[in-house]
Chains A and B, each alone.
Chain A
Amino acid sequence: MNQVLKKADPSIRLVTVAGPPSSGKTSLILHTATVLLEQGVRIGIIKFDCLTGDDHKRYERAGLPVKKGLAGGLCPDHFFIANIEACVQWGINQGFDLLISESAGLCNRCSPHIKGVLAVCVIDHLSGVHTPRKIGPMLKNADLVILTKGDIVSQAEREVFSFRVRQANAKAAVLPVNGLTGQGSLLAAGHFKTAPAIDSLNGRRLRFTMPAALCSYCLGETKIGPDSQIGNVKTMDFT
């Protein structure tokens, strides 16, 4: 795991990093990238966001080339999947060895993970022991689960938390990383380096379907009431 394989064809290793807001995705990527940069890996970053954020500046300060994608009014995961292939081509043209895409899982329903692409999920210990059960596909379909902010909770809670993560996803590697000091990022870097190399994502498949977004509110409706909700609508059962 200590050697980066040199590639002959125009290809790139891709890693999708997802996790709830403020779980420490950017810090994880920064620390992991630092380890990899020292080993001579050329890295590019794609930062997906809904509204404008300043995270891309943190990457720029660290000397990492970054492209920012703002979903604006669109579902961020739909936006992600419609743009990720262009990101891959950008990464290949720039001559990167590794492309890391960071996206926020805002509704816990989505997961940007793609078959045959290294999938990373970041969750923090402070979010509570029930979180691994709530997060769903983003956690269940990940190859690597990174647990952050473990330095401020008790050992017992860390052990219970990683047990719960394994309950939801027994296949994944589960590693603690301290986002402040970078402790643990060495092992994360080992995983990033072994991400499969790809030349294009065309024809590949998501690991999990994205939410069906086909009602009138998707198209900008703001008025409430049965007359305004048209399309793929689901209602709660109060009986």
Chain B
Amino acid sequence: MENANIKSSTDRGILNLRLDTLMEKYPYLLDFFNALEINPFPIQNTLAMLIESLPMDHLVQFGLNHKSLSAQILEFIAKMEQCRDKIHGSMDHLVIEGGFDKNGCPETMGITLFPGEVVSVVGPTGSGKSQLLSDIECLAQGDTPSGRKVLPDGKTLDAPSRFSGEFRLVAQLSQNMNFVMDLTVEAFLQMHAESRLIDKIPEKITQVYQSAVMLAGEPFSLNTAITSLSGGQSRALMIADVAYLSASPVVLIDEIENAGIDRIKAVSLLLNKEKIVLIATHDPLLALSCDRRIVIKNGGIADVIKTLAAEKKSAACLADLDRKLGLLRERVRKGKRLIFDQNYFFDHS
């Protein structure tokens, strides 16, 4: 009861704010008003006066009346402020408690993941990699086919938070994803940054753009339409965008080996952002860039392999091979011939 009173007095406060103060305090309202073709003017008027001044004919087009518009604005502000608060919270670790494999046998083990850690998920097609990723996405509470429990900071998320969809733990990247918006790179990043309610938007845009170009290898401009980016450029922009602009503390990556981007740099970019990165991959180089590998068999976690120092050593050799292959790829791209010495690949001198 007390809460309800406080809420309504906050609401009254908002309704009595002058428009200039209001827009400064809640900048996302500009976009909200744009959507309803409302011009927040004159600025010395209060929000209540603005709502009052709108003709009924105008509101009817949007299925609104004065009362429901006022309610909608207040709800929107409340929700956005709530989201803003949540963004500042962070996660210390993520516990995955073991469930059952496809035969109903208990899983060998669970796993605890930490921010700044990259872990690969390996196993043949159909072994249950997607189920693991899906369990993490919906914060499974023993209620998915695997029976696993996914616990941020080791605690069960309360049902309302889980069912409201407000707490999006996971950002996903996969080979099948495409850009569908008809926007330039700059306008796209602007739109995403605005929806995240962050400050210093121009700097963020520059950061994302520069990282994306670095990952892609092939330069593109801020004025390029996102739909006309090449496969590699799109993937690079998606990864840079997730690193800098996504709120989700966990990133799931599905097969980026063929994307034509610098995958080691891509992974380290995400790690620098203190995210937990899970990669479903069978690429040896990528697997060795991970600290641990989760082995999935018959729907269950069969093993968690720690990458050995000896394996890390072979990573250097693999990286060299990969670089050489990259040079050959560049030759193909430029229309050159591929005649080269066989020792080229194996000679370390």
Interface, chain A (partner B; CB < 8 A): 1-2, 109, 125-126, 128-129, 133, 136-137, 140, 151-157, 159-160, 162-164, 166-168, 170-171, 173-176, 181, 183-184, 186-187, 190-191, 208
Question: Which of B173, B180, B181 is in CB contact (< 8 Å) with A155?
Answer: B173
List of A residues within 8 angstroms of B144 by Cβ: 186
Whether B163 and A1, one on each chain, are in contact in the complex, defined by CB atoms closer than 8 angstroms, is yes
A113 to chain B, nearest CB (A): 12
21 residue pairs of the A-B complex, CB under 8 angstroms, read A126-B180, A128-B181, A137-B63, A153-B179, A154-B238, A155-B171, A155-B173, A155-B177, A155-B241, A156-B246, A159-B192, A160-B181, A160-B192, A162-B165, A166-B80, A167-B32, A173-B164, A174-B165, A181-B134, A183-B134, A184-B138
Complex CA distance for A1 and B247, rounded to whole angstroms? 27
Proximity string of chain B (67-87) to chain A, C-beta cutoff 8 Å, 1 when within and 0 when not:
000001001101110010000
Let me know if B137 is at the binding interface, CB within 8 A: yes
Question: Which of A1, A155, A162, A186 is in CB contact (< 8 Å) with B159?
Answer: A1
Let me know if B62 is at the binding interface, CB within 8 A: yes
List of A residues within 8 angstroms of B80 by Cβ: 166, 170
Q: Among residues 161 to 212 in chain B, which have CB atoms less than 8 Å away from a CB atom of chain A?
A: 162-166, 168, 171-174, 176-181, 188, 191-192, 195-196
Whether B165 and A154, one on each chain, are in contact in the complex, defined by CB atoms closer than 8 angstroms, is no
> If A137-B63, A160-B191, A170-B72 touch, does A155 touch B246 (CB 8 Å cutoff)?
yes
Beyond the given pairs A152-B177, A153-B178, A168-B35, 14 more chain A to chain B contacts, judged by CB atoms under 8 angstroms and listed by A's residue number, are A109-B63, A136-B62, A151-B177, A152-B180, A162-B165, A163-B196, A167-B76, A174-B165, A175-B163, A176-B165, A184-B137, A184-B138, A186-B144, A208-B63
* A-B contacts, CB under 8 A, total: 111
Let me know if B242 is at the binding interface, CB within 8 A: yes
Whether A159 and B195, one on each chain, are in contact in the complex, defined by CB atoms closer than 8 angstroms, is yes
Complex CA distance for A45 and B192, rounded to whole angstroms? 38
A122 to chain B, nearest CB (A): 14
List of A residues within 8 angstroms of B171 by Cβ: 155
Let me know if B311 is at the binding interface, CB within 8 A: no
Whether B76 and A166, one on each chain, are in contact in the complex, defined by CB atoms closer than 8 angstroms, is yes
Whether B130 and A171, one on each chain, are in contact in the complex, defined by CB atoms closer than 8 angstroms, is no
List of A residues within 8 angstroms of B246 by Cβ: 155-156, 159
Let me know if B276 is at the binding interface, CB within 8 A: no
Whether B32 and A186, one on each chain, are in contact in the complex, defined by CB atoms closer than 8 angstroms, is no
Chain A minimum-CB-distance residue to B34? A133
Proximity string of chain B (225-244) to chain A, C-beta cutoff 8 Å, 1 when within and 0 when not:
00000000010001001100
List of B residues within 8 angstroms of A137 by Cβ: 63
List of B residues within 8 angstroms of A186 by Cβ: 138, 143-144
Chain B minimum-CB-distance residue to A150? B172
A180 to chain B, nearest CB (A): 11
Complex CA distance for A184 and B172, rounded to whole angstroms? 14
Whether B35 and A133, one on each chain, are in contact in the complex, defined by CB atoms closer than 8 angstroms, is yes
